[in-house]
Amino acid sequence: MRLRFAPSPTGALHIGGARTALFNWLLARHAGGALVLRIEDTDRERSTPENVEQILDALRWLELDWDEGPILQSARSERHREVLERLLHSGRAYRSSATAEDVQEYKRRHGAERGFRGAEERSGAVRLRVPEEGATVVHDAIRGETSFEHVHLDDPVIARADGSALYNFAVAIDDLDAAITHVVRGEDHLSNTPKQLLVLEAALAAGIRPLPAGAEPSLPVYAHLPLLHGPDGRKLSKRHGAASVQELRHAGYLPSAVRNYLALLGWGATDDATVLSTEALIEQFSLERVSRSPARFDETKLRWLDGVHLRELPAQELARRLEQFIGEAGLASEAQLSADPQRLVGAARISREKMQTLAEFWPLAGFFFTGPVEDPSARERWLDERGRALLAQARDALALAGAPDFDEPAVEAALAEVLERTGAKARDLYQPLRVAIAGRAVSPGIFESVALLGREETLARVDAALAPR
């Protein structure tokens, strides 16, 4: 199998493009085939080097690699001209000065259903000669067969008068030259397919690709992926939340979760499993199970999946990713995090039950590194007279706790003893302590948090909270 991903670098890589890239990648990896990356940069105005870099960067972040390329479509213009000459020479294409108005006029006279044929001239744009008879049949692996009667098809313009190739021509020739066996792309390209097939057939008939004796020229299999909708059933757009891979990255999603989620947009495992590792996706992915109906992008489900993937990461690995995320987001300095690397691993371990994305870590656990945050309402609510009295008791108990280790069970036992002695409710003891160490009323588990901070740091923070302000 030879597949390709052919983005137009006119902006960021969007969810739809990322899904197309992923499906091609999964098919290539499943079959032990090759994935070709082709950058369709013929729109010179919009295809900037920054946009190309942005797309490559998004693919790298998604951990989707490619085997050949990136091939720039713009670098192939000589080849496009060469094929065009062959088609003109063999009579399968012709020059014509017919304009869009001429085509409209023709339709007015002959009926809209009747395909337009131009008059051959010495100069003008290049049109492909659609055979009078027969039909072009698109075999789509997802949608089945669609037949396009030639009488209804206009002779398509394939190059401008200056000989520069138009989109459908360039795509078809590039697919042919790269020996692509499967064209897997978004449904919006369905209507281009008959034109591209006609170009391929004409090019093969004109002998642009010498075949070994006896070999049949073969055309690629097409597969058009279903549209993407938002949860409201409308075409996916910005208003449905994160729209580009870059935005997903900044929102703190893990690439493995994004791959898992994108794979489910139009595809499903035989057992309907939702949580799938990339290895499982590669093993199970097939075009046969891609659906025709629109898929729904729902960020709530992605968040949930991200939480699942996050909890499956070893704490060391999670810490590594958190460090990178926090650094990139500029939430903390490297010095703050690397002063005690074990603290980050520990904080990752005790926080992940309460997190769905990397972005949720810092608001929850930043206090381990920066000291208690400022939250006057939490102080007011929990550090009143009674709260401070209980906090003082907790302080004394923790000061004596845990020989030899100041660990979670030791902290729990020390606090249990205070509860028993004072008859206080757990919450009335734990919340003041939480506010003392974290500054706020939400944190990872209190025993784990206190144990991670260590006795010295905990007592210092409690003392600071008890000190008159």
Q: Which of 6, 93, 176, 435 is close enough to bind ligand GLU by CB under 6 A?
A: 6
Q: What element of type H or E holds 156?
A: none
* CA pair distance 396, 390, nearest whole angstrom: 10
Smaller CB separation from ligand GLU, 20 or 356: 20
Stretch that binds ligand GLU, among 1-9, 381-389, 412-420, 448-456 (CB under 6 A): 1-9
Q: Cα separations (Å) of 459 from 167, 247, 281, 346, 394?
A: 69, 41, 49, 19, 10
Smaller CB separation from ligand GLU, 97 or 191: 191
3-state secondary structure (DSSP) of residue 124: coil
Residue written as tokens 């290895």?
Answer: 279
Interface with ligand GLU includes 76 (CB under 6 A)? no
Residue 257 C-beta: closest distance to ligand GLU, Å: 24
**Amino acid (one-letter) located at 233:** G
Spatial CB neighbours of 145, under 8 Å, sequence gap ≥ 6: 137, 138, 139
247: tokens are 């935005």
Axis crossing angle, helix 426-438 with helix 408-422, rounded to the nearest 10: 130
Residue 117 C-beta: closest distance to ligand GLU, Å: 26
Window 230 to 249, contacts with ligand GLU (CB under 6 A): none
* CA pair distance 37, 50, nearest whole angstrom: 17
Q: Which of 127, 182, 185, 352 is close enough to bind ligand GLU by CB under 6 A?
A: 185
- Catalytically active residues, by annotation: 238
Smaller CB separation from ligand GLU, 40 or 154: 40
Burial class (CB in 10 A: 0-12, 13-18, 19+), 469: exposed
Smaller CB separation from ligand GLU, 8 or 422: 8
Stretch that binds ligand GLU, among 2-10, 96-104, 309-317, 322-330 (CB under 6 A): 2-10
Contact between residue 375 and residue 439 where contact means Cβ atoms under 8 Å apart: yes
Interface with ligand GLU includes 166 (CB under 6 A)? no
* CA pair distance 168, 194, nearest whole angstrom: 10
Stretch that binds ligand GLU, among 3-11, 100-108, 419-427, 452-460 (CB under 6 A): 3-11
Residue 314 C-beta: closest distance to ligand GLU, Å: 37
Question: Nearest-CA neighbor of 225 among 267, 195, 194?
Answer: 267
Question: What b/e string do you get for 16-33 counting C-beta neighbours within 10 Å, with b at 16 or more?
Answer: bbbbbbbbbbbbbbbbee
Residue 47 C-beta: closest distance to ligand GLU, Å: 10
Interface with ligand GLU includes 171 (CB under 6 A)? yes
Torsion angle of C-alpha atoms 274, 277, 282, 285, degrees rounded to 10? 0
Residue written as tokens 């010495």?
Answer: 122
Residue 144 C-beta: closest distance to ligand GLU, Å: 20
Interface with ligand GLU includes 224 (CB under 6 A)? no
Residue 171 C-beta: closest distance to ligand GLU, Å: 5
Contact between residue 279 and residue 130 where contact means Cβ atoms under 8 Å apart: no
Residue 3 C-beta: closest distance to ligand GLU, Å: 10
Interface with ligand GLU includes 220 (CB under 6 A)? no
Interface with ligand GLU includes 219 (CB under 6 A)? no
Window 123 to 162, contacts with ligand GLU (CB under 6 A): none
* CA pair distance 131, 91, nearest whole angstrom: 11
Residue 83 C-beta: closest distance to ligand GLU, Å: 17
User: Nearest 5 degrees, angle CA 23-CA 222-CA 147?
Assistant: 150
229: tokens are 């909708």
Stretch that binds ligand GLU, among 4-12, 208-216, 240-248, 290-298 (CB under 6 A): 4-12
Residue whose C-beta lies closest to ligand GLU: 185
Q: How many residues bind ligand GLU (CB under 6 A)?
A: 7
3-state secondary structure (DSSP) of residue 140: strand
Stretch that binds ligand GLU, among 6-14, 301-309, 368-376, 433-441 (CB under 6 A): 6-14
Window 16 to 75, contacts with ligand GLU (CB under 6 A): 40
Within a 10 A sphere around the Cβ of 141, how many other Cβ atoms? 16
Interface with ligand GLU includes 189 (CB under 6 A)? yes
Stretch that binds ligand GLU, among 5-13, 210-218, 242-250, 412-420 (CB under 6 A): 5-13
**If you compute the radius of gyration of the chain from its CA atoms, what whole number of angstroms results?**
31
Interface with ligand GLU includes 181 (CB under 6 A)? no
Kindly list the residues in this chain that would bind ligand GLU in the complex (CB under 6 A).
6-8, 40, 171, 185, 189
